Amino acid sequence: MAGRLSLLTISLAVAVGAYFRPAILDQITAALHQHGVQLPFPISQPGPPPQPPSPPPTDTPTSCPPHAYTTQLISLDPLLIYITNFTTPAERTSLIATGLPLLEPSPIIGAPHLAQARTSWSAPLPDDDATVTCILSRAAAFLGPSLLTLGRDEMGSAQMVRYTAGQKFDVHTDWFARPRLLDEDGAAGRRRLYNRVATIFAVLEADGVEGGETWFPHVQAGEGEGWRALEGGTAFRAVPGNALFWVNLLASGTGDARTAHAGLPVEGGFKTALNIWPRVFFGPDA
């Protein structure tokens, strides 16, 4: 019985210590001592309540903030979507500052002999840059689960491209006629190939630009706020913040020739944009 009483009184003392003032606690402790009950620990006044954790510094963002954009369906087959307000002014400024020092003459993968067909400047952007990570995350959310298989496919890296006066990229497709092997996969002996299942082309700046439209000769969309009919196809103006999305591959996995497009020559000013090419993988190690 004494053991039960001691446990009960200890529990009571602990509860009281959490809710009563020190003066009342002294009275309760004295009363317990009169009954021969010695507490194995002192009853003390509770300390100040714990403070909430400090918010992370504002100059080191840990996530991509919510951002609203709108879409317009330009073509259902092939699928081509016009995206308004895909990036914010601050994001565009950050991406340009990151990419400008990295620019080099743009290559044509697998066809260096066609160098005169693409006369722009370009650079892959670092994957660990906070703004790049944010934009790739937004692009992945836009794609959803329909084009990429989780755990197999990848968003790939972002590439910045800049066109100055006289520069262009003749009619071409973003998909490869033959799926390619990543350098790191080749070095590791990994048996998988990839192709660019889709493209997101986002304009970052268009300072004083004349010309420089993105022309799809096989897509008819008529006239719109950001595009015009041109030679049987559609030419999209360079509007900072806006983007184009299209699917490069048919359901069979082969390239869709109707997605051929060109960066028309810039006649004045300059245009800076962002390429994102999600990758779908094939092969036994995919």
Angle in degrees, CA 282, 285, 286, rounded to 5: 40
Question: Which residues, including other chains, have CB under 8 Å from residue 178's CB and lie 6 or more apart?
Answer: none
Kindly state the tokens that stand for 271. Answer: 């245009």
31-63: b or e for each residue (b if 16 or more CB lie within 10 Å)? ebeeeebeeeeebeeeeeeeeeeeeeeeeeeee
Q: Judge whether residue 4 has pLDDT over 70.
A: no
pLDDT digits 0-9 by tens, 6-45: 444 444 444 444 444 444 445 545 554 555 555 444 544 4
Residue 17 CA to residue 175 CA, distance in Å, equals 71
CATH of domain 70-282: 2.60.120.620
Phi and psi torsions of 253, nearest 5°: 95, -5
For the ranges 29-33, 254-258, 274-278, the lowest mean pLDDT is seen at: 29-33
Q: Judge whether residue 63 has pLDDT over 50.
A: yes
Nearest to 193 by CA among 284, 277, 282: 282
The greatest distance separating any two alpha carbons of the chain, rounded to the nearest whole angstrom, comes to 103
What burial class does residue 202 get, using C-beta atoms within 10 Å of its C-beta: 0-12 exposed, 13-18 middle, 19+ buried? buried
Structural contact between residues 85 and 72, judged by C-beta atoms closer than 8 angstroms:
no
pLDDT at res. 59: 36
For the ranges 77-81, 113-117, 205-209, 223-227, the lowest mean pLDDT is seen at: 113-117
Angle in degrees, CA 78, 172, 84, rounded to 5: 55
Q: DSSP assignment of 220-255, as one string?
A: ----BTTEEEETTEEEE---TT-EEEEE-B-TTSSB
Nearest to 230 by CA among 205, 248, 257, 212: 212
pLDDT at res. 56: 39
- Find the mean pLDDT for residues 98-120: 79
pLDDT at res. 107: 76
Residue 139 CA to residue 159 CA, distance in Å, equals 13
pLDDT at res. 6: 46
Q: Where in the chain is the domain with CATH 2.60.120.620?
A: 70-282
pLDDT digits 0-9 by tens, 152-182: 999 999 999 999 999 999 999 999 999 999 9
Structural contact between residues 192 and 285, judged by C-beta atoms closer than 8 angstroms:
yes
CA atoms within 13 A on the CB side of 269: 12
Residue 58 CA to residue 74 CA, distance in Å, equals 38
Q: Judge whether residue 194 has pLDDT over 60.
A: yes
Predicted TM-score (pTM) of this structure:
0.76
